[in-house]
Structure 1
Amino acid sequence: MLQEVCLRGLLLLLVGRQGTFYTEEQCLKASVNTCGDCIKSGPGCAWCKDLNFTKTGEQEAVRCDTAASLRNKGCSSNGIINPKNNFTKNSNKPLAAGANPVQIQPQEIQLNLRPGLPQTFQLHFKRAEGYPVDLYYLMDLSYSMKDDLANVKQLGNNLLTELTKITGNARIGFGSFVDKTLLPYTDTNEAKLQRPCSDKNEPCQPAFGFQHVLSLTKDGNRFRDMVARQHISGNLDPPEGSLDAIMQVAVCMDIGWGNSTRLLVLATDDGFHMAGDGKLAAILDPNQETCELVNNKYSKSNLWDYPSVGQIARKLEEQNIQPIFAVTKKMETVYTELSKMIPKSAVGVLSEDSSNVVKLIVDAYNNLTSEVILAHESLPDFITVKYKSDCTGGEKPSDKGKCDNVNIGKEVIFHVTVTVDRSITSQSFLIGPLGFSEKLKVNVQTRCECECDDSKQPHPHCGGNGKVVCGGCRCDPGFLGQRCECKLGQKDEASLKVQCRKNNGTECEGKGDCLCGRCQCHSTDGGGNFYGEFCECDDEHCEKFDNKQCAGHGKCKCGKCECDQGYEGTACHCAKSDEDCKIDESVCHNRGKCVCNQCECERGYKGPYCKVCPTCQRPCQESGSCVECLAFGTGPFEKNCTVACTHLQHMMVEKLLKSDCRVKDKEGCWMSFTMTEQLGFDKYFVSVLKDRECPEGPNIAAIVGGSLAAVALIGLLVLLIIKAVLYASDLREWKRFEKDRKHEKTSGTNPLFQNATTTVQNPTFSENL
């Protein structure tokens, strides 16, 4: 079964001739086997019906792409199928005043829309002069409103006169309310139910919830007479049954609402009970939003709970009733908050005795009718509507169009954009200004099929075994393949199945059948299709959050979530925001991306803001040449420093508290500097110590003196060594000589010695001298 879900196109931003043009055209294909599947895949998708566009073995899905891509691939202009929206005005009466005024134009349109492709049209509105006004006065008759009732009995003709001055056609009606006649709201003593007033002399009517007194009428005297018959009543607790009364006024036809501006004036001096308060009196059945008047009194008052504020707001909007809350000063804040939840409502402050009620109503009417709010009723599934206007402040698309200060006779233009997310059956809905009964009827159909004007006869392109449908072959029974070339039961089917295995894996991933070498994918459990060349994709098994696939904020494509605008995360579970990723006006220090309001850091950076990198080291040596040229004007980058060193900023300092880096420059001097990383990667601010540490020059005198002293010392040492060697040698010879003498055997006379042979004596010698 083919998947019927039509995917919304992305990046639909700016209103154009057909409704919207795109900043970037995209075609997000899902399961595509036919031209119809392609058209349903999104507004950016087109189909090529040229016969020979696909190559042998290619799936028909290649025919589906953006129109530009198809042209680039060789598809002829006449071969591109790309349906657009059709817009037709079924009823287009001109704006007119008079007895049967026409205040919106057109009155009925027909839209034939391609899924995901918005269509914009204009709706004109002009307040007609003399448009009738119906005003129903709903009054709190609890005992505290005694003085106010006396004045209301006189206001009928005055109020009609003032409204007639504005519109020329006004009617007025009256109803009253107190509260449910059960404890703890009302004293249920029989006597107290019949006469709840504390003053025995005061005319008093029995306790009641809501009663309809007078249907809408142009007769001011009748209003005065009917109201004059009303008397005050009473209850126990301060909050009243206001919402019960409002619901009956909105849903009961006995009120007599006409084709008019419908105003409901609620006059009270206290707050209101709401849904859930009925449990105090054991009332468990919720309000059913139906008219339950019996003899003009609300018959289900003690059986049904009070309606919720949401029910009241919805019902008033459905019935085009604009409430005016005429309340005392102490209740102004309460009803102002209530007014914020009810479109086209106003709050006015009553004087102590309600003597200003006519002026209050007239002022509120003027304010309400001069504000035009264009809205739609409950929309069919898969249809969205956005509004813009030519009024100040209405230029941006919103769920409701709004114009202020729209006087009678002034024409305003609203630009209405309708988008259908998927193929649907024929649907219709209404659009109109709140508070007015006139509505534009919008009929919507979808264009999800292709018109290719194909022949119904067998075609040679399909081997005579099938027909051509939008460029592809639709084979006759018993034939398969891209060109119907395979007949069921062929013996070489095993060799074709190899082409159906991704990376020699399972045939068609186990999610399809291999027919003639191409995968025919099965349906998923959810009714969709597996798709892809090997049936590897489906759109039903994506990550879930809060038990919703893609958190309900995206679409599942081939097992991954593609998030709607404004959401991110693997399950589209996070609203896009970078507030918790910002520090010093940067996101994640420009070192990562902010996903789900948390930094996902890159390149080893850590911490909540990607501020630190535990594994990173400061590039001191690599930065030395740049520091040298920036700080001292020397080094290898001296001539192109500003180009080569753009990643560094520097500052010269007299003193460094700490020195991260110590690098030698070209001259052999030590440079000391600190490196502080800036936003992003590989960018630093460098603080450089002004004074470098350079080595001192050589002392020549010391070197020369030292050299001579060294030479002299060496010479002296050499002489001492030589002397020591000679002394040692002599000492050794002397010792040997002494040893030899001790061992000689002669008498001590030298045998070589001979006495002299001649003796001469001096005659002058005398021994006595």
Structure 2
Amino acid sequence: MWIPGRAALCWLLLETLLRSAGGLNVCMSGSATSCEECLLIHPSCAWCAQEDFGLRRSLTSRCDFKQNLHKRGCEPRFIEYPSSSVSILKNSPLSTKGSGSALYDVVQIMPQKISLSLRPGDPTLFNLEVRQVEDYPVDLYYLMDLSLSMKDDLHTIRNLGTKLAEEMGKLTSNFRLGFGSFVDKNMSPFSYTAPKYHENPCNGYKLFPNCVPSFGFRHILSLTDQVDRFNEEVQKQMVSRNRDAPEGGFDAILQAAVCKEEIGWRKEAYHLLVFTTDDVPHLALDGRLGGLVQPHDGRCHLNDQNEYSASTKMDYPSLALLGEKLAENNIFLIFAVTKRFYVIYKNFTALIPGTTVEILDQDSKNVIQLIIAAYNNIRSKVELTVSDHPEDIGLSFTATCQDGKPLPGFRKCEDLKIGDTVSFNVSVEARSCPPRGTDQTFTIKPVGFKDLLEVTVDYQCDCGCSQTAQVNSSICSSIGTYNCGTCQCEPGYLGAHCECQEGDASSMYLSACREAEGKQVCSGRGECSCNQCLCYESEFGKIYGSFCECDDFSCARHKGILCSGHGECHCGECKCHAGYIGDNCNCSTETSFCFSDDGKMCSGRGNCVCGRCQCTEPGAFGDTCEKCPTCPDACGTKRECIECRLFNSGRLADNQTCQRLCKDKIITVESLENDDPGAVLCLYKTDDDCVMKFTYSEHVSGRSVLTALKEPECVTGPEALMVLLAVVGTILLIGLVLLAAWKLVITIHDRREFARFQSARMRARYHMASNPLYKQPITTHFAEMETFEKSFNGGLH
């Protein structure tokens, strides 16, 4: 169940080979005069405790890379080279179900107890697994705002207990329900304090003339499986009235969390605290408006009447105190608030681990669906927290969730199903050595779980050879302590075997005190005594080395701090602590801060340099280069968030990663007007051939804002049959019109031709029946004479 630090050791070995082959040997260039000092220089350094090793040169030659010590003749049994390790002390298997009598035996995290042996700078790894078991007991405490504006909600929840028990019964067979209420501190300026309001703060209020005196917090019903009692107690309640808009809800939350015996929280159950209100809460320091300068002490203050007795004595609790007590008592807080204050409480959830927020209807009619949704949301994620974390120990997490993809820097998995198992790879590194005999203990636990992993740490800062040190050893001329192959001489004596006294000097020894021919004796910073350099003291730091050539204060600085505070100065060179590089150790090698929410390094738009992203994509910015309105893929990336957040569709909805990847603020509007010149207009076509429009912009605060239409713009298309009939009808109509026009033209043409024929016929000088080529031989004149007479007679008339 644990993974040894092989990757870290391989990296250190590679680093060792590189440095010993053609670079600075960090071990030999250090100031180590003892085994313990050598181990602190670098995790790849080893010490040779062999007696006859390195007598001619300086004692620091005993400190070197392990393979170098082998080459120089040091036997393996004399090499001190401790490394970090992990030991599993308790590793019970994960449970599958939580129901039954032996609830204390339910295991949701594995292992449960480990021991770490850490060498400073040498990281080691271990793995832990978490599983949310099925049918786990649930304790739900309903904390309700009973200020005057919540009177409609009080009427709605009168039968809440029965309905809620029925719904929760589908999720767990062991459910208990409790009830409490709050208003605000009964003092000015938070409540009405005039004498006429003492008994009835609603005195003179026409809309609701009767109410009870205001109070801070009142515990009404301890957790019980008798849901009928919940209904009975709720029906007895009456609303009160306070003076200002904010409520004293945080006082009530803290009391409900820390008064464990009075509330009845079970250790072996999930603890849900449902907080319902329609306004903002008072925060720490608001109490000073009423003269309350004493900070909240985080303790339970319920009197015999189960009322908060310190309401008018202490200030409101801070968010930090609230989060600490909720985590300490494994309580999931559910903010059930009206839509108007959703954003405010959403911001609170970022500061209080294990907290969710849901939108409550004005009359609380959706409270059951809200609680069920919040419970499912809580059970769908696992987030690790660390308690009592020692400052000299560094922790880094890599989460492996259901998709099997490692997420460096993440300590949370979401979108899980009950029974799913997730794992976390934890890297632990000691940065320094505490005082001798100091052991550290810290815990890692999922938010809201009673299960935890207890981690005990001891430090590999002492060498094994130090346990066999010989006082007044003959090897050290009986005037020194022989420890790990070296003599630690009594004051006034010098030499590899304490064979010389201070003050002894001879010209024959001077050459041994020069680093090279022509250089100063002891580099001009010490005196040559007994074939050794005695270095002067300096007000700036320590001067050391075989020839006093080194010191611990002549290294590069960053912002006036030696080695940036992230390394040690050894002989003019900064020896950086693990996790830092550079001439002055100002460059962090930590990359966890460079990973964006989608698991990509700098969102794929930059490089991680010194622990921070340097964006290379034009227009990209943000801590992880996640903001880039002008990037080609910006619209495509934000489109997926619009789909999953507003319509629960698209790729992210299928993969159940919407909440983790899409944290931008989304504003829905009826019509989209792009008044912001810095906003980018994005459009895409939906599956039903509608067009969705939204804008993407970055506010001055640095927060991304998406403004989208509530619904895609859809143009209703005509039915195919109607289109076909219309087309056919149009063709027929055009054909009839053309046919009628053709008929009309033909008719007009025929009539014109006929008229022309008639006209020609009338102008003819002969009868149709006579042939002009033939003339009869007989001419009759009577007809002509008769015609003439008629014409003549007519003219006379």
TM range (shorter): 0.5 to 0.7
Larger radius of gyration: 1
Aligned to 1:92: 91
Q: Compared with structure 1, are the counterparts of its residues 597 and 337 closer, same or farther at alpha carbon in structure 2 (3 Å cutoff)?
A: closer
Q: How does 1:533-612 map to 2 (within 5 A)?
A: 533-535=546-548, 537-539=550-552, 550=563, 552-558=565-571, 565=579, 572=586
Q: Which residue number in structure 2 is paired with residue 226 of structure 1? A: 233
Report what 2:294 is aligned to: 285
| 1:335 alignment partner AA | Y
Aligned residue number for residue 145 of structure 1: 150
Partner of 1:481: 495
In structure 2, do the counterparts of structure 1 residues 421 and 228 end up closer, same or farther at CA, with 3 Å as the change threshold? same
Q: Pairwise CA RMSD of aligned residues?
A: 3.9
Amino acid at match of 2:462: E
Q: Contact between 2:492 and 2:502, CA under 8 Å: does it hold in 1?
A: no
Contact 1:561 1:572 in 2 (8 A): no
In structure 2, the partner of 1:256 is 264
Q: Name structure 1 gaps, 5 residues minimum.
A: 1-13, 578-584, 588-592, 599-769
2:160 is matched with: 155
Rounded to whole Å, the distance in 2 between the matches of 1:242 and 1:43 is 52
Corresponding position: 1:405 with 2:415:
yes
> Which residue of the other structure, out of 83, 104, 129, is the alignment partner of 2:134?
129
Aligned to 1:738: none
- 1:492 counterpart letter in structure 2: A
1:241 aligned partner: 248
Q: Counterpart in 2 of 1:349?
A: 359
* 1:440 maps to which of 453, 456, 476: 453
Distance 1:46 1:63 in 2: 8
Q: Does 1:24 align with 2:15?
A: yes
Alpha-carbon distance between aligned partners in 1 of 2:463 and 2:219, rounded to the nearest angstrom: 59
How far apart in 2 are the matches of 1:508 and 1:393? 60
**Matching residue within 274, 281, 285 for 1:276:** 285
Q: Per the alignment, in what secondary structure is the counterpart of residue 237 of structure 2?
A: coil
Contact 1:576 1:597 in 2 (8 A): no
1:427 is the counterpart of 2:436: no
Q: Is contact 1:19–1:417 with CA below 8 Å preserved after alignment? A: no
Could you report, residue by residue, the CA deviation over 1:331-381 in whole angstroms, capped at 9, with x for unpaired residues? 111111211222222111112211111111111111111101122113123
Q: Is the 8 A contact 1:497 1:516 kept in 2?
A: no
* CA displacement at 1:39 relative to structure 2: 1.4
Deviation, structure 1 residue 236? 1.9
Distance of 2:556 and 2:195 partners within structure 1: 64
Partners of 1:435 and 1:597 lie apart in 2 by 33
CA contact (8 A) 1:147 1:353 kept: yes
The question of whether the paired residues in 1 share the 8 Å contact of 2:521 and 2:527 is answered with no
Residues 1:388 and 2:395 are matched in the alignment: no
Write out per-residue CA displacement over residues 23-58 of structure 1, whole angstroms, 9 at most, x where no aligned residue. 5236745431111211122311111233343152x2
Matched, 1:532 2:538: no
**Maintained 8 Å contact 2:201/2:240:** yes
Counterpart contact for 2:400–2:407, Cα < 8 Å: no
Instruction: Please give the alpha-carbon distance, in whole angstroms, between the structure 2 residues aligned to 1:362 and 1:164.
Output: 11
Q: Distance in 2 between matches of 1:489 and 1:555?
A: 30
Say if 1:481 and 1:515, in contact at 8 Å, map to a contact too: no
Correspondent of 1:450 among 444, 457, 463: 463
Q: What do residues 460-512 of structure 1 show as CA deviations (whole Å, max 9, x unaligned)? A: 8657776653333345787531133x2326743676477557786686866x7
1:296 counterpart = 2:295: no
Q: 1:327 to 1:429 in 2, by over 3 A?
A: same
> Conserved in 2, the CA contact under 8 Å of 1:569 and 1:595?
no
Measured in 2, the distance between the counterparts of 1:546 and 1:181 equals 53
- 1:470 counterpart (484, 496, 505): 484
Partner of 1:321: 331
Percent identical:
39
Alignment partners' CA distance in 1, 2:369 and 2:61: 71
Which structure has more helix as a fraction of its residues?
Answer: 2
2:372 to 350, 356, 362: 362
SS in 2 for 1:376: strand
The 8 Å contact of residues 142 and 232 in structure 1, kept in 2 or not, is answered as yes
Q: 1:202 to 1:169 in 2, by over 3 A?
A: farther
1:299-314 equivalence runs, <5 A: 299-314=309-324
Q: 1:287 to 1:122 in 2, by over 3 A?
A: same
- Trace 1:750-765 onto structure 2 (pairs within 5 A): none
For normalisation by structure 2, the TM-score amounts to 0.64
Q: Could you tell me whether the CA contact under 8 Å between 2:587 and 2:610 is conserved in 1?
A: no
Closer, same or farther: CA 474–130 of 1 in aligned 2, 3 Å: same
Q: Write out per-residue CA displacement over residues 209-261 of structure 1, whole angstroms, 9 at most, x where no aligned residue.
A: 22222222222112222222221011122221122222222222222222221
Q: Alpha carbons of 1:470 and 1:354: their partners in 2 closer, same or farther (altered >3 Å)?
A: same
Aligned-partner Cα distance in 1 for 2:508–2:419:
79
TM-score, structure 1 normalization = 0.66
Structure 1 range deviating more: 223-232 or 324-333: 223-232
| CA distance in 2 between partners of 1:102 and 1:208 (Å) | 41
* Alpha-carbon contact 1:567-1:573 (below 8 Å) kept: yes
- In 2: Cα distance, 1:594 partner to 1:38 partner: 27
Q: CA deviation at 1:323?
A: 1.0
Contact 1:18 1:85 in 2 (8 A): no
State how far apart, in whole Å, the 1-side matches of 2:324 and 2:562 are. 31
Q: Which amino acid aligns with 2:458?
A: Q
Q: Which residue is 1:633 aligned to?
A: none
Residue equivalent to 1:729: none
How far is the alpha carbon of 1:124 from its aligned partner?
2.0
Shift of 1:326: 0.6
- Kindly provide the CA deviation profile for residues 415-465 of structure 1, in whole angstroms up to 9, marking residues without a partner as x: 222211112311111111111011111110001122238684988865777
- SS for the counterpart of 1:167 is coil
Give the structure 2 partner of residue 518 of structure 1: 532
**Residue type matched to 1:440 in 2?**
L
Q: How many angstroms does 1:544 deviate by?
A: 6.7
Query: What SS does the aligned partner of 2:273 have?
Result: strand
Structure 2 residue runs without a partner (length 5+): 20-24, 592-604, 615-797
Matched-pair contact (CA < 8 Å) for 2:588–2:610: no
